[in-house]
Structure 1
């Protein structure tokens, strides 16, 4: 396999598929990578990882031996290409390493179809595997730099499915009560942001050639994520999307959520603190009411959850500015029970942990009732 690989590399240099370090090319003659791997994982990588004992448990099957014993053994049919960073000293990937669009789509469908169906109850266990393999899918697409419409359509479909995966795991795997030791919420969010950015770029760059049937869904998510992006202009974005997207129920729901939340997070106007908190209360009541309605699909609720703490901080700021009487005297009205209902938190313990994390203190009334010490 090594000899065959070296021969392939030499031929790929001649054909202009990989860079020849001994013969630099002008920018106009840049190499054009192609993908010729017909499997979810190239043969060379499969053999190499099996020899090095680097096969993940998710890529193994139970084998029953003649004596009745069982072991978990590598299954080449279940192996999926791992993600490898580009780095100095690492050989450029060959055509036989890169999967073409149809194979990448088949890989994504396998991961989120058959494989996930088998492991749905252990999503937290298989998450590192899927997280790595979806990065490898996106990396193959990035190397191939596809621009023909059939390939771009496949790429959009793959990225949309990968984005849904990250949205789902941020909620189901990243829930504070049960975060696995190996899970990193921030890294999961980072990969979601990168995937969503690519999707938005696809929609914009190919809007006159192709409209994804899922565009309204992902435009709705982008509206909710715009809450923590002060540089974005939602109104300008909406106008550029067209009437069909603007009138979609999911987009309209996202706009309503954004409008309520934005007034909490970014209050504007000359209102005095008391009047401001009354207005803010109307907005946070409206936000939580929409969240609890049937208008918010499950994945949209997961996206909103990512912004919950941003909204809760805005609510706390409004309460502090309105109810702090003086630097030495506040109010005892905001008990943890009342505050928990306002912040949409599960119980007093979770409420106390959140407010203390935000720099606030909790005190006790004369009767022992805990309250927010303003």
Structure 2
């Protein structure tokens, strides 16, 4: 950043050698950071990633050799998205906890050095996209622990804050800015403050397809128009679907509550479960049965839900289900690394259409 006295990082590795040695000595290596077959006491330089340590008041700033420059930070995010987030030998909670911590360290390294805003934005965009994906895979029903949903939500908001401050400084261009502003609105669906901030963006950004769609989703969510909302959610690309996943359960509960108010009678009125599946974009009849029973609604022959007056209830966090249709299936044949690093078409970035 012009006129800034901050240093420029020079560390060439995902984890500085000094930290690797210290964590080896203290036996604080994560199993993701050691070579396969290793006993766990030696860090693999190709797998070890700098962990987050909160800056202490009065402590001197790290030296440039302890800070990774933007190209190394971007390579670190690529590694986390491509090699760690896709691991099949670990629980989603373990993956999310590790990735979130290391991405937090990425943002801190960036904040402690004088990085160019264009380079910084690229790192923050990739880091935020990766975090959104691992949080969406974890789901909001996860129990507190290494990947506490509340802490992860705070980290996502911190990521949006860092990125949007970078955009606000005015340096550019940032080709993915409109797409990430759309992700911001979708993650904060229904927030008056988020909507106000998006509406203050220049008209050229608000005209981008990704932001227009996000605004339409927000409007349908606010209006309680379930049919339109879930039709729009079906059409969202993968990262936008990851951003909005945390609201799916609440939207389904609100839609079911409206149906209960409209249809409940003393004798009960039945509605086919396959209609509920289509309306709420559920992943099948079994998920529809679980959703209805979670809200106290009886079933008739496992084929329809019966709306009996006084039976609808709301307890605890609404289930979101597997969200395969609305989220998981949209990754298709691509890897998360491809989407995070370069898949601008998936992000809704405007591109000229080929001639017919």
Q: Which runs of 5+ in 1 are unaligned?
A: 1-30, 64-69, 265-282
For residues 2-151 of structure 1, the aligned pairs below 5 Å read 35-62=9-36, 73-87=42-56, 91-95=59-63, 96-113=65-82, 115-116=83-84, 119=87, 124=92, 125-144=94-113, 146=114, 151=116
Q: Deviations over 1:9-48 (max 9, x none)?
A: xxxxxxxxxxxxxxxxxxxxxx956645443222321211
1:91 to 1:231, Cα distance in 2 relative to 1, 3 A: closer
Matches within 5 A, 1:296-335: 296-324=236-264, 329=266, 331-334=268-271
> Partners in 1 of 2:301 and 2:19 — Cα distance?
68
State the distance in 2 between where 1:368 and 1:158 align.
49
Give the Å deviation of 1:133.
1.0
TM-score (normalizing by structure 1) = 0.67
Count of residue pairs the alignment pairs up: 303
Q: CA deviation at 1:257?
A: 2.1
User: Which whole-Å deviations, capped at 9, do the CAs of 1:119-177 have from their partners, x for residues lacking one?
Assistant: 47758354332221111111222334x4xxx522222111111111122112323386x
Deviation at 1:356, TM superposition (A): 6.1
1:153 aligns with 2:114: no
Matches within 5 A, 1:180-329: 182-206=146-170, 209-234=171-196, 237-238=198-199, 240-243=201-204, 245-264=205-224, 283-293=225-235, 296-324=236-264, 329=266
- The SS at the match of 2:298 is strand
| Aligned-residue offset at 1:323 | 3.4
Query: Structure 2 vs 1, CA of residues 123 and 200 (structure 1 numbering), >3 Å: closer, same or farther?
Result: farther
Taking structure 1 as reference, are residues 336 and 109 closer, same or farther at Cα in structure 2, changes over 3 Å only? closer
* Preserved CA contact (<8 Å) 1:160 1:199: yes
Whole-Å separation in 2 of the counterparts to 1:353 and 1:200: 39
Residue pairs, 1:331-370, within 5 angstroms: 331-334=268-271, 338-347=275-284, 350-351=287-288, 353-354=290-291, 360-363=295-298, 370=305
CA 1:370–1:242 in 2, change beyond 3 Å: closer, same or farther? Answer: closer
Structure 2 counterpart SS, 1:361: coil
Judged with a 3 Å threshold, the aligned counterparts in structure 2 of structure 1 residues 365 and 51 are, in CA distance, closer, same or farther, namely closer
Q: Distance in 1 between matches of 2:280 and 2:99?
A: 33
- Taking structure 2 as the reference length, the TM-score comes to 0.70
User: Quick check: 2:186–2:214 contact (8 Å CA) kept in 1?
Assistant: yes
SS for the counterpart of 1:61 is coil
Whether the 8 Å CA contact 1:336–1:372 is kept in 2: the answer is no
In structure 1, how many angstroms separate the alpha carbons of the residues matched to 2:164 and 2:129?
Answer: 14
> Take 1:121 and 1:336, find their aligned partners in 2: how far apart are those partners?
36
Q: Which has the higher contact order (CA 8 A, sep 6+)?
A: 2
Distance 1:317 1:109 in 2: 42
Structure number having the greater helix percentage: 1
Aligned equivalents of 2:105 and 2:298: distance in 1? Answer: 50
RMSD: 3.6
Instruction: Give the structure with higher Rg (CA).
Output: 1
Gaps of 5+ in 2: 310-356
SS at the partner of 2:66?
coil
> C-alpha displacement at 1:118, in angstroms?
7.8
1:323 touches 1:330 (CA, 8 Å); kept in 2?
Answer: no
1:155–1:301 CA distance, 2 compared to 1 (3 A): same
1:371 corresponds to which of 285, 296, 306: 306
Native 8 Å contact 1:352 1:362 kept in 2? no
Q: Distance in 2 between matches of 1:373 and 1:182?
A: 41
